[in-house]
Structure 1
Amino acid sequence: MSGHRIPAGIVNARQAKFSLVRHRPAPELRPFVEHHWVLRWNLSGRPPQEQVVLPNLAVNVTFFRDAAGAFGPGKRPFRYTVAGMDHGIGVRFRPGAFRAFLTGPVSMISDGSVPLTDLFPGAGPVTESVRNATTDSEMVRRCEELLLAKDPVLTAAARTAVDAVETIAADPAITRVGELSSRTGLSHRSLQRLFAEHVGAAPKWAIQVYRLNEAAARIATEERPDYAELAFTLGYSDQAHFIRDFRTVTGWAPAEYARLNRVQEQESRRERIPGGRQV
């Protein structure tokens, strides 16, 4: 939604060797889906590249040759190696809205995934046709046909979960579960149950994900990040606590993450040829 933080979390996005295009979902899927995303790459004759995505709350349903399934929210960065020449499509769901497509709580796929054939029984040929489609519009259309065949319904509880996550996304000042409880009118225990069923992550972790993805974005783009100021801005009582949480979410200390992005940016510049085109 406009004005809301949506963690992208792609590490070293500026030197990635793929193209990423996002597509808006059909109106009937917008209560559930944030966007479709299409990746294409051509590394023929070049070394494979590992791409890292920081943890976030979204469930992604993907149609790739070696990654076809529903991937739940995780507490560790997601790593994927691109090699050769290929393409695929993913569907990024709004946090809290994926429960309609599962037979159990979203927590059942936290830090894990389910195969597409489990998610859409008997739809093997259809899911393969999605991946094999050559144009973005054809892939999006076949994805949406598959999703709509489930006749999803956004229940009142799911709507409450979506609103709770969007409350976090809209207000960086929310740094404690108690603050979220006050804003939503839900008790701590009710939030825990709601998030386990519909989000797949505890409310405390959900708040951390938004705070630390925001920190990662700033560290990756600022020339000389001020970690003490950043910790204060994000509501931390001390820098040490911020550094510990940042390492937990991203896998790197803030200074390591900054160096990683600086090094990758320098390598990306060295690959450029006159005219600015990357080889």
Structure 2
Amino acid sequence: MIDERRGVLYPERMPRFHRLPPEPAAGHLVAWFWIPEWELGAGERSRQDVVAYPALNLVVDPSGVQLVGATTTATHRDLTGCGWAVGALLRPAGAAALTDRPADLRDSWTAVPAPELLGPVGDAMGRTDENRLGTAVTIMSRWLVERAGPLTDAGRQANAMSELLMTDAEVRTAEQAAARLAVSLRTLQRMTHRYVGVPPLAMIRRRRLQEAAQRLRDEPDADLSALAAELGYADHAHLTGDFRAVLGIVPSGYRQQL
């Protein structure tokens, strides 16, 4: 199981955070739901830095419903006051039900006109009973199932592609991924473009970078050269370059900030 906070760069800054599975009928559409809640005092601010999974997210919060695309760099959000969000980390089959041009949403988002989703989810999150989070997940799961329709063979293959690239540490190149999936490299590239909006190598690099950041949090004394080799980087400089390009900081600097 993937750590729910693997992409969170500074977990100690996180507000209350919940991770819930989708309803079984939506399991092919959503990897999991993530639900942060926060209540900060006057003048307080909590900065949340994230290096997100290479996937699209459907997010409901009090301001509306958004479809958020894959990102190419670390992102942040400054939390103030009181609030909540209910996000669905979409599998490719789920993303395809909401857009046929995910590349257009790279490092961006678009509003989804869905008052039939916003109202009920907002009502659920406004309750105080212990089932409110599960109710919000049920509402979004069922909405997505109705929107998506039956799972197609193409959607099933795209889900397998994403699962491989996001979780398998043995896959370090796009060529290896294509071979594991028994497709051509060109087919793999078309698949990631159609369902995620970024190239397969970008998905692999994002997974490795998340793993590297998590290892630095869990093992602050880890040798950076050994860590780079273990995660499939060519050398320490390669790991440092990846960190700087995406996080805007080198591994040693990140470790000092922790």
- For normalisation by structure 1, the TM-score amounts to 0.83
Runs ≥4 in structure 1, deviation > 4 angstroms? 4-7
Q: Give, as a single letter, the amino acid of the residue that structure 1 aligns with 2:120.
A: S
Correspondence 1:109 to 2:105: yes
Q: Give, as a single letter, the amino acid of the residue that structure 2 aligns with 1:130.
A: V
Correspondence 1:148 to 2:181: no
Which residue is equivalent to 1:131? 122
**What is the CA–CA distance in structure 1 between the aligned matches of 2:236 and 2:166, rounded to whole Å?**
23
Correspondence 1:69 to 2:66: yes
Change (3 A) 1:146 1:77: same
Change (3 A) 1:143 1:226: same
Higher gyration radius (CA): 1
Change (3 A) 1:137 1:179: closer
Give matches, 1:26-65, under 5 Å.
26-65=23-62
Using the TM superposition, name which of 155-164 and 26-35 deviates more.
155-164
8 A Cα contact 1:99 1:197, kept in partner? no
Give matches, 1:158-197, under 5 Å.
158-197=155-194
Which residue is equivalent to 2:78? 81
8 A Cα contact 2:73 2:247, kept in partner? yes
Deviation per residue, 1:100-145 (Å, 9 max, x gap): 322413223222111021xxxxx32541331242221332232233
SS of residue paired to 1:150: helix
Deviation per residue, 1:46-89 (Å, 9 max, x gap): 41111111032121111123473011111022211211112221
Percent of aligned pairs with the same amino acid: 26
Q: Give, as a single letter, the amino acid of the residue that structure 2 aligns with 1:241.
A: H
Correspondence 1:9 to 2:2: no
Change (3 A) 1:223 1:67: farther
Alignment length (residue pairs): 252
Structure 2 portions without partners, runs of 5+: 127-131
Change (3 A) 1:195 1:237: same
**What is the CA–CA distance in structure 1 between the aligned matches of 2:186 and 2:30, rounded to whole Å?**
27
**What is the CA–CA distance in structure 2 between the aligned matches of 1:189 and 1:218, rounded to whole Å?**
33
Q: Give, as a single letter, the amino acid of the residue that structure 1 aligns with 2:143.
A: L
Which residue is equivalent to 1:277? none
Change (3 A) 1:250 1:11: same
Deviation per residue, 1:152-211 (Å, 9 max, x gap): 333222221221222234431221112112222222211111110012210110110111
- For normalisation by structure 2, the TM-score amounts to 0.89
Structure 1 portions without partners, runs of 5+: 118-122, 262-279
- Root mean square deviation, CA, Å: 2.1
